Structure 1
Amino acid sequence: MYGSGRHEDGGAPRVVVGVSGSLGSLAALHRGVAEARERGAELLPVLAWEPPGGEHGYRRSPCPPLLAAVREAAEQRLRDALDAAFGGADPGVPLRPVVIRGETGPALVHVADRPGDLLVLGRGGGVLHRRLRRSVPGYCARRAGCPVLTVPVPELLAELHELEAMNRRARLHLPAGPGPRLLPAKG
């Protein structure tokens, strides 16, 4: 399968990578390149975008110039993420960037629609981010018709999240004003 350059579905092998610009998605891009190189596959970095207020809000108040500006911003965000990941260098695999309108999880599952595809996703964001937004890796793992590879958060980012959490906990236990003064013990 890896050496043939073609999959049983007749298409060239593809590695689809979800990109947001986060450090987790940049790590996923690097892993995606390694997987594409190993499989002789094309790399599809995918950035999904939605109109401000979501699709429902846009249908209620359409504004084509705003929609065009948001789409252009998404295209620029993908170019910036690719520059950040590869520093302007050729990643050494066929590359076809995709910017798609839609909610992230469903959009990624839509693009990675061949059984021979590999969908690569980063795990990023802090606990609050994961609580506020649906888990894209979880959604994709449940719905994708191809294998899904979740790349762990880079070690440095994990340490940064840990330090931020420690800092928040420490701030919660400190008094609002100047702290208590310790007096020397007598005797």
Structure 2
Amino acid sequence: MSGSGSAATPRVVVGVSGSVGSLTALRRAADEARLRGAELWPVLAWQPPGGDPAARRGPGVSLMHGEWQRLARERLVAVLSDVFGETGPGMWMYALVAHGTPGQALVEIADREDDIMVVGAGRRSLWHRACCRSVTRFCLAHAACPVLAVPPSPLETELAAVHRRNSWRLRLDTRHLAQETVRPEGA
């Protein structure tokens, strides 16, 4: 895609994966697209399990390639349905499934200066920063357009806390859940 046309409709390109952070980014991207009168371009990038080099070694790669792409398309449709329901986002939307790493796919698709790219900026531990690539950092460093990094929703933070508590088998503190005691009249 070449971004040289000046009469092109503005686009809001958003990376989606189905994670809570990407759902938050998708909702924010839809709001930005409505605000700017732009088209919404949700993108789900996929790679074969183990990456492309691992997939090239195995037999029947072309058959599996089609299956992986079908699964990615189904996942994207499910995510869009979860966020927008049956009615859709209420604007022009071009959903894409891209083969490749998420950061590279987003940068290649959002190639116009008037595009806006929206990505989730999940809270990342030191371990994740050391061992895993950050899509957000890649997009901020390589994008030709402005990048909006959406912070995690409060729900994502609460879910992470619950997951940690369950992993460590800690008791649930229910004191904050207790309602005020209602006293009968005349007591």
TM-score, normalization by structure 1 = 0.79
**Distance change in 2, residues 1:130/1:91 (3 Å):** farther
For 1:89 and 1:66, the matched residues in 2 are separated by 33
Which residue number corresponds to residue 160 of structure 2?
Answer: 161
Structure 2 SS opposite 1:17: strand
Which residue number corresponds to residue 142 of structure 2?
Answer: 143
For 1:159 and 1:130, the matched residues in 2 are separated by 21
Tell me how far 1:40 sits from its aligned partner. 0.7
Please give the residue correspondences for 1:1-187 in structure 2 after superposition, counting only pairs within 5 Å: 9-61=6-58, 63-124=61-122, 127=125, 131-165=130-164
**Distance change in 2, residues 1:72/1:161 (3 Å):** same
Gaps of 5+ in 1: 1-6, 172-187
For 1:130 and 1:19, the matched residues in 2 are separated by 20
Tell me how far 1:60 sits from its aligned partner. 2.9
How many residues matched?
165
CA deviation vs aligned residue, 1:56-111 (integer Å, no higher than 9, x gap): 22233351111111000000000010011112222111000000000111011011
CA deviation vs aligned residue, 1:165-185 (integer Å, no higher than 9, x gap): 4555676xxxxxxxxxxxxxx
Q: Which letter does structure 2 place at the counterpart of 1:80? A: A
Q: CA RMSD in A?
A: 2.2
Structure 1 SS opposite 2:6: coil
Structure 1 SS opposite 2:12: strand
TM-score, normalization by structure 2 = 0.79
With 157-166 and 8-17 compared, the bigger mean Cα shift is at 157-166
User: Contact 1:9/1:115 (CA < 8 Å) preserved in 2?
Assistant: no
Percent identity of paired positions between Structure 1 and Structure 2: 45
Structure 2 SS opposite 1:153: coil
